[in-house]
């Protein structure tokens, strides 16, 4: 039976990374919650999915911050908006959370502008009070390193200050970037580390370092790649499409053998993200009603359950707990 992890809290119902979103996930009975972290100007780890925050906060409406709007290139993508590293934590905590995809989740968007942005310490405290674990994702470490932030060091210091540095049974740290995971090990972090894996492409930090010779995600899932990961990290977390292995008609052919192959090497295997809306399901499991309507998510999720995974990330914790524990 896999761990059920509240992905950014319970964003199927409430704005992601808000206090009420995490509280709802904990109340639903998840095993852990998943915050993403990016730094503020003064080195506070802020809980946001991205450092560009115009889609998930009310910053664009705040006249006092109008002059902070700018353009930056993050992991090869040119973005325009407001970025956490240009604000102090004192400024960021005046912002309010907003639903990232209001057209798909209007009920969540009804709660916009009611709750402040959180920092990592807030989520760690919520998890401890709720008796659940934490799966912490580090975002854009290479991009922040160019700006002078050692995100791994910030994480280490925050975990030590909060009493989580040795929480090997209740904390996991993950990232798409293998170099920051290696940096955490060098800094003496003992908690399990997990390599996130996209369906295609290569980690941005390796692309910066190695150019065209960068190891791609597909290579990580070969026997040789899994052997290498088993020597460096404690688990992998691939995109669910890699496990569902859809055919050209959008029907799952999985579960793919990569789960068993990784587990044979001692790696824990998680996957992301279980969502019920048509927009996020394979084509074969969509139902009438448009992108926001719930499809036959149970049929898709049954393939993941059959895979024998160690953990699943869910946006609707009540549905995930009910399904994966039944």
Domains recognised in the chain with CATH numbers = 3-324 (3.20.20.190)
User: Measured in whole angstroms, how far is the alpha carbon of residue 305 from the centre of its chain?
Assistant: 20
Q: How far is CA 153 from CA 34, 99, 148, 189, in A?
A: 20, 30, 12, 10
Neighbours of 148 (CB within 10 A): 9
* pLDDT < 70 positions in the chain: none
Instruction: Say what the pLDDT of residue 56 is.
Output: 98
Q: Of 272, 268, 299, which Cα lies nearest the Cα of 283?
A: 299
- Please, what is the Cα angle at 234 between 165 and 135, to 5 degrees? 50
Q: Output DSSP code: residue 289.
A: S
Residues 6+ apart with CB under 8 A from 148: none
Distance CA 10, CA 43 (A): 27
Task: Report whether 269 contacts 230 (CB < 8 A).
Answer: no
pLDDT at 190: 94
- Give residue 131's region: left, alpha or beta (phi > 0; psi -120 to 50): left
Beta bridge partners, 38, equal 46
CA separation for the pair 11, 290 (Å, rounded)? 19
Q: What percent of the chain has pLDDT over 70?
A: 100
Phi-psi domain of 138 (left: phi exceeds 0; alpha: psi -120 through 50; beta: other)? beta
DSSP state of 15: -
- Class of residue 71 by CB neighbours under 10 A (exposed 0-12, middle 13-18, buried 19+): exposed
pLDDT for 41 equals 98
What Å distances lie between residue 316 and 26, 37, 155, CA to CA?
11, 21, 27
Res 326: pLDDT: 84
**Mean pLDDT over each residue of the chain, to the nearest integer:** 98
The tens digit of pLDDT for each residue in 89-102 reads: 999 999 999 999 99
In this predicted structure, what is the pLDDT of residue 323? 98
Q: How far apart are CA 4 and CA 233, in angstroms?
A: 21
Q: Is 14:279 a contact under the CB 8 Å cutoff?
A: no
**In DSSP terms, which residues pair with 116 in a beta bridge?**
96
- State residue 20's pLDDT score: 98
271: closest CA among 299, 234, 246, 308? 308
Q: Is the peptide bond before 273 cis (omega within 30 degrees of 0)?
A: yes
Contact yes or no for 176/141 (Cβ under 8 A): no
Half-sphere exposure of 21 (CA within 13 A, CB side): 37
């Amino acid at each position: 039976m896999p761990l059920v992890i509240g992905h950014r809290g319970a964003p199927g119902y409430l704005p992601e990374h808000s206090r009420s979103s995490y509280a709802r996930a904990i109340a639903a009975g998840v095993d852990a919650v998943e915050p993403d972290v990016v730094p503020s100007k003064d080195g506070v780890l802020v809980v946001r999915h991205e450092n560009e925050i115009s889609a998930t906060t009310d910053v664009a409406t705040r006249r006092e911050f109008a002059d902070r709007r700018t353009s930056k290139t993050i992991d090869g993508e040119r973005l325009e908006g407001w970025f956490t590293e240009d604000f102090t934590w004192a400024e960021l905590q005046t912002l309010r959370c907003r639903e990232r995809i209001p057209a798909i989740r209007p009920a969540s968007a009804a709660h916009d502008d009611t709750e402040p942005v959180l920092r990592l310490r807030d989520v760690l405290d919520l998890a401890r009070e709720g008796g659940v674990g934490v799966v912490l994702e580090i975002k854009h470490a290479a991009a922040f390193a160019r700006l002078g932030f050692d995100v791994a060091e910030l994480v280490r210091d925050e975990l030590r200050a909060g009493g989580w540095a040795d929480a090997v049974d209740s904390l996991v740290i993950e990232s798409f970037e293998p170099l920051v995971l290696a940096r955490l090990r060098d800094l003496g972090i003992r908690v399990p580390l997990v390599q996130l894996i996209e369906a295609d492409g290569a980690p941005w930090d390796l692309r910066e370092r190695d150019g065209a010779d960068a190891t791609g995600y597909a290579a990580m899932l070969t026997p040789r790649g899994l052997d290498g990961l088993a020597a460096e990290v404690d688990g992998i977390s691939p995109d669910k499409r890699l496990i569902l292995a859809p055919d050209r008609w959008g029907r799952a052919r999985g579960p793919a053998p990569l789960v068993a192959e990784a587990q044979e090497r001692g790696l824990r295997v998680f996957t992301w993200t279980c969502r019920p809306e048509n927009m996020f399901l394979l084509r074969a499991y969509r139902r009438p009603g448009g992108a926001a309507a719930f499809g036959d998510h149970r049929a898709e999720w049954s393939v993941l359950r059959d895979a024998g995974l160690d953990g699943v990330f869910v946006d609707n914790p009540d549905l995930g707990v009910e399904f994966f524990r039944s």
